[in-house]
Chains A and B, each alone.
Chain A
């Protein structure tokens, strides 16, 4: 009787949240999957089922391939730049935990992660600006020719990677510091007694023991890298001033197909590709962690 009453309370209490969740999460996710199999254009009246035709078309769509390649380069570029730096900085901040400056270091490195994307991207737009930017001024000071950073196809991708890494670093450092705090102190004391130096215990103890954290941070960084949009939108306007066109990324391509070309079904199939990438990365994380658990 009592149990029954508790059950009713639990269901009644969870119901509103569940209803919202179903409406703003479950339904649109299911709808994305459904739309990806249809030729669903806003303009045409009949929206036939086309099976995997959208995906087949994606394979030959050079704009999509371009976007996929750019996005992948950005995601892995950010990963390669961020993780080693974050690990070293977190280790040093952890080493100086008791100093008065520790709070300042953490805050300063974390601020780029919390400030709004667009204003922060503006700061970098100025830095990279070909005519006004301090980066070119600095280069010419050292006798290196000035570059048009934001209009060169290769350099503009690098600019976006730098901006994204600058934002991602604070998060990675924070998670690593938490990781360091959870490592057993006794192990380090034992290593010290055996004559290990600071860098040695960092290399042979911290890095292997922090592997699960590294994996977690890597996947989070990659996933947010694959969702990059605002940074490219602001930094990479093309010569005509159309935002985000210089470096095409997946989300931009998807939104253009949906709202400029009115091809919603086709855009949904791009969203499914994005989902498959994210799921793949998450699965790699889980399976690697499980293997470690077995060993």
Chain B
């Protein structure tokens, strides 16, 4: 404004007060939006907060109205009972083993396949990629029954290997890495390395993988949570109490005749708290991975 003093017109008092009014209106609007969003956020979290609170409550307090968020006299009796009645720690260990192995398998297969499909333009590969693409939309539930019989004939039911069989590859992971390879690894870089005499495998290991670190991290988090929250497949593959994953163990624990919500809450909270913490720590990776699912138009 002051750079052109000739044309500068002093704003009238009305104009100034109009500006103040508009700014105030905007601030009030933003405040209202914040209040609304805070209420929504709290409502979304409330069921989980109550679940954790219930885990520490006595049966009598479970009945009280309004429900308390901080238990009046917190007890760990529910946790003790659950740990005594169920192999909860074993279930958690099974889930962790399954999720970690699945993550490793998915990251490895996606990194290699994504790179090859992204940078090697041969007709055979295009056909193969189309095959991957075409099966990506088939939900797991559609083909899990034949897969179950394959696991059975391999003799790996009721083991972490059986669980793993369903979660070795992830079509979306291959697309994600392929997109990243195409957009963030220039051909010139690879050509330069080839001219310098680098082997293909050396290039993949020392040039491509480091450049894909971010994308692979996002994929790893997605893969881990996918296996960690898997339900239908572990449900049919594991039938012995010691081989359950935590999801299956909890789901079957609640079907007993007496539904003891205190104990159920304690068992659920034991699983929930670490996974929420893990999510909050890895949020950026996770959001990046999930967000990229929506971008493949």
Tell me if B255 counts as interface (CB < 8 A to partner A): yes
The answer on a CB contact under 8 Å between A28 and B144 is yes
Assuming the A-B contacts A6-B120, A7-B122, are A268 and B294 also in contact, with contact meaning beta carbons closer than 8 angstroms in the complex? Answer: no
Assuming the A-B contacts A6-B120, A230-B231, A271-B145, are A169 and B44 also in contact, with contact meaning beta carbons closer than 8 angstroms in the complex? Answer: yes
Q: Which residues of B contact A114 (CB under 8 A)?
A: 225, 229, 275, 279, 286
Tell me if A96 counts as interface (CB < 8 A to partner B): yes
Tell me if A161 counts as interface (CB < 8 A to partner B): no
The answer on a CB contact under 8 Å between A109 and B138 is no
Tell me if A13 counts as interface (CB < 8 A to partner B): yes
The answer on a CB contact under 8 Å between A126 and B143 is no
The answer on a CB contact under 8 Å between B141 and A251 is yes
B276 to chain A, nearest CB (A): 6
The answer on a CB contact under 8 Å between A123 and B236 is no
The answer on a CB contact under 8 Å between B142 and A271 is yes
Assuming the A-B contacts A96-B34, A127-B47, are A289 and B137 also in contact, with contact meaning beta carbons closer than 8 angstroms in the complex? Answer: no
Q: Which residues of A contact B231 (CB under 8 A)?
A: 117-118, 229-230, 233
Task: Name the residue on B nearest A237 (C-beta).
Answer: B255
The answer on a CB contact under 8 Å between B275 and A89 is no
Give B173-221 interface residues, CB cut-off 8 Å to A: 200-201, 204
The answer on a CB contact under 8 Å between B294 and A20 is no
A200 to chain B, nearest CB (A): 14
Q: Which residues of B contact A106 (CB under 8 A)?
A: 287
The answer on a CB contact under 8 Å between B41 and A105 is yes
Cβ contact of A115, chosen from B30, B36, B122, B272, cutoff 8 A: B272
Tell me if A234 counts as interface (CB < 8 A to partner B): yes
The answer on a CB contact under 8 Å between B145 and A216 is no
Assuming the A-B contacts A24-B168, A93-B37, A96-B33, are A126 and B261 also in contact, with contact meaning beta carbons closer than 8 angstroms in the complex? Answer: yes
State which of A49-57, A58-66, A74-82, A272-280 sits at the interface with chain B: A272-280
Q: Which residues of B contact A166 (CB under 8 A)?
A: 44, 47
- CA separation between A175 and B290, bound complex, in Å? 8
Cβ contact of B37, chosen from A14, A105, A118, A178, cutoff 8 A: A105
The answer on a CB contact under 8 Å between A27 and B141 is no
- CA separation between A155 and B33, bound complex, in Å? 32
Q: What count of chain A residues pass the 8 Å CB interface test?
A: 99
Q: Which residues of B contact A5 (CB under 8 A)?
A: 200
Give B101-153 interface residues, CB cut-off 8 Å to A: 109, 112-113, 115-117, 120, 122, 124-125, 128, 131-132, 135, 137-147, 149-150
Tell me if B45 counts as interface (CB < 8 A to partner A): yes
- CA separation between A259 and B166, bound complex, in Å? 18
Tell me if A47 counts as interface (CB < 8 A to partner B): no
- CA separation between A174 and B257, bound complex, in Å? 40
Cβ contact of A9, chosen from B128, B146, B201, cutoff 8 A: B201
The answer on a CB contact under 8 Å between B109 and A275 is no
Q: Which residues of B contact A272 (CB under 8 A)?
A: 142
Cβ contact of A92, chosen from B37, B169, B252, B261, cutoff 8 A: B37
Cβ contact of A116, chosen from B33, B47, B65, B275, cutoff 8 A: B275
Tell me if B96 counts as interface (CB < 8 A to partner A): no
B13 to chain A, nearest CB (A): 24
Mask of B91-104 contacts with A, CB within 8 angstroms, 1/0: 00000000000000
Q: Most chain-A Cβ atoms within 10 A of its Cβ — which of B128, B145, B169?
A: B145
Q: Which residues of A contact B246 (CB under 8 A)?
A: 116, 118
Task: Name the residue on A nearest B137 (C-beta).
Answer: A282
Tell me if A132 counts as interface (CB < 8 A to partner B): yes
Tell me if B16 counts as interface (CB < 8 A to partner A): no
Assuming the A-B contacts A9-B200, A175-B291, A243-B251, are A104 and B41 also in contact, with contact meaning beta carbons closer than 8 angstroms in the complex? Answer: yes
Tell me if A241 counts as interface (CB < 8 A to partner B): yes
- CA separation between A105 and B39, bound complex, in Å? 10
Tell me if B268 counts as interface (CB < 8 A to partner A): yes
Q: Most chain-A Cβ atoms within 10 A of its Cβ — which of B109, B146, B261, B293?
A: B146
Tell me if B50 counts as interface (CB < 8 A to partner A): yes
Q: Which residues of B contact A125 (CB under 8 A)?
A: 254, 259, 261, 264
Task: Name the residue on A nearest B296 (C-beta).
Answer: A216
- CA separation between A254 and B41, bound complex, in Å? 37
Tell me if B283 counts as interface (CB < 8 A to partner A): yes
The answer on a CB contact under 8 Å between B51 and A123 is yes
Q: Which residues of A contact B82 (CB under 8 A)?
A: none
The answer on a CB contact under 8 Å between B290 and A174 is yes
A1 to chain B, nearest CB (A): 13
Pairs A-B, 6 closest by C-beta atoms: A119-B268, A108-B41, A31-B146, A175-B294, A28-B143, A123-B51
A125-B261, A174-B287 given; 18 more Cβ-contact pairs under 8 Å? A5-B200, A9-B200, A13-B200, A25-B143, A25-B171, A35-B146, A95-B33, A96-B30, A107-B280, A118-B250, A122-B264, A123-B268, A125-B264, A137-B67, A178-B295, A251-B232, A255-B145, A264-B145
List residues of chain A with CB under 8 Å of any chain B CB.
5-7, 9-11, 13-14, 16-18, 20-21, 23-29, 31-32, 35, 89, 92-93, 95-96, 99, 101, 104-112, 114-120, 122-127, 129, 132, 134, 137, 141, 166, 169-171, 174-175, 177-179, 198, 212-213, 216-217, 220, 223, 226-227, 229-230, 233-234, 237, 241-243, 251, 254-255, 258-259, 264, 267-268, 271-272, 274-275, 278-279, 282, 289
List 19 A–B pairs whose Cβ atoms lie within 8 Å, in order of A's numbering: A7-B122, A10-B120, A13-B200, A14-B125, A24-B165, A28-B144, A95-B30, A99-B30, A109-B41, A115-B279, A137-B65, A166-B47, A230-B232, A234-B251, A241-B256, A241-B259, A243-B251, A243-B254, A255-B145
